[in-house]
Structure 1
């Protein structure tokens, strides 16, 4: 571990207040709360969009907490270098194992129970609803946001890090992917969504895509809400939604049915 002191933004819970970074002292009210720790070259970009809407409300209420670890704080030498040229040659730069390792060890200090370390990577396991559900049942999660050509493989091996992908494409860094993973996970935490039934009905929760949704006005640009939804017959409505869910899944994602 490094003896270099962390900057004021490092490893602090981020709560949306008039002074969102003024959280130097431990907050006993948040003890035992599901926590996300983010290791990034751009820690100031968090909570970003996660500080809005339901995830932001839950953050303010202490239903989850967010801590950021600035990777540059662990850089080597006068210029705080965090990367170096790839062994064997090639384009780009690779995050150094000593730099990333020190950041991970500080990030995991005090971590308890089931607390996985994730690395956002296009070669990782695809993020899906089941993974988000599993993560929401953990005590917390540490997410490493990569940059450049990635991170030294020895870091992933040494710490048993799980690689997670959003899909078959490449991004400039892992921060946006981390946003997506956290949003999908935090909304499943107890008390974050006001209506728990909405989680059960949405796409992928039952292995299929969600049925179509409608609201007022009853007629819009010549298109009407399906009459069954206006019938008040709950049994028929449930049957229609199930049939529509199966139809859409069969047309768009037949792999889910398989």
Structure 2
């Protein structure tokens, strides 16, 4: 079994207990499906104050992370991965200026045997470090966080759940939202009737072909309602076009009934 290698350069290693100590990612780590190693750039400083930031040249608010301790931490991470059989570790800087994280990007990263995440803080990191060491920049959205740790954890979580054997049901990852370019269909569990609302009859029928068609119809409809941009980028089959048209007709009928 290939073991995915993750390294993170971060000022706050304990934050990553959210990955290593809980849920699916905890279990996958315990099963040896990936390894996570954390590097604090303060451990690579030369002064008594363990300084990792300084004021920006040219003035302006905030502080900028120093290139030298960050680069030494990245190099240490690369050496660890090389020693664990990774031929070419890929360094990713979590940055609002990077390309947006999508399922396609996640699957691209799944194919990489070793990833090193650079979690910046303050106003960011010295640009010379980015030019020297960073292979890719990724953003998880158009907003600003206090640091790159949460963003790195989002990417790691998304990757780990795609690793073979991580999810209990082999179909679980394939049926997640965005995997086929659509939002997920609605889910139901016990009781059969909750607060007067029953589970859709088709889900109780036992007819798997009808259930599959209903779920596809709902996924198409939800995507049309909530993320039409995803449908615009998708070439619908004849069956999907028919199911979407049926959903739209049902939706209009429900809206007319509510008036």
Q: In 2, are the aligned partners of 1:219 and 1:225 still within 8 Å (CA)?
A: yes
TM-score under structure 2 length normalisation: 0.84
Unpaired runs of 5+ in structure 2? Answer: 233-259
How far did 1:49 drift?
3.9
- Correspondence for 1:227: 201
Show the 5 A alignment for 1:74-89: 74-89=44-59
Show the 5 A alignment for 1:30-179: 33-109=3-79, 110-111=81-82, 112-179=86-153
**Paired residue secondary structure (1:46):** helix
Q: In 2, are the aligned partners of 1:51 and 1:59 still within 8 Å (CA)?
A: no
**Paired residue secondary structure (2:188):** coil
2:226 paired with 1:252:
yes
CA separation in 2, counterparts of 1:160 and 1:118? 6
Q: How many residues align?
A: 228
Deviates more, 1:89-98 or 1:121-130: 121-130
CA separation in 2, counterparts of 1:100 and 1:42? 13
Deviations 1:47-82, CA, capped at 9 Å, x for gaps: 334421221111111111110111111124221111
Deviates more, 1:43-52 or 1:115-124: 43-52
**RMSD over equivalenced CA pairs, Å:** 1.4
Larger radius of gyration: 2
More helix by share: 2
- Correspondence for 2:249: none
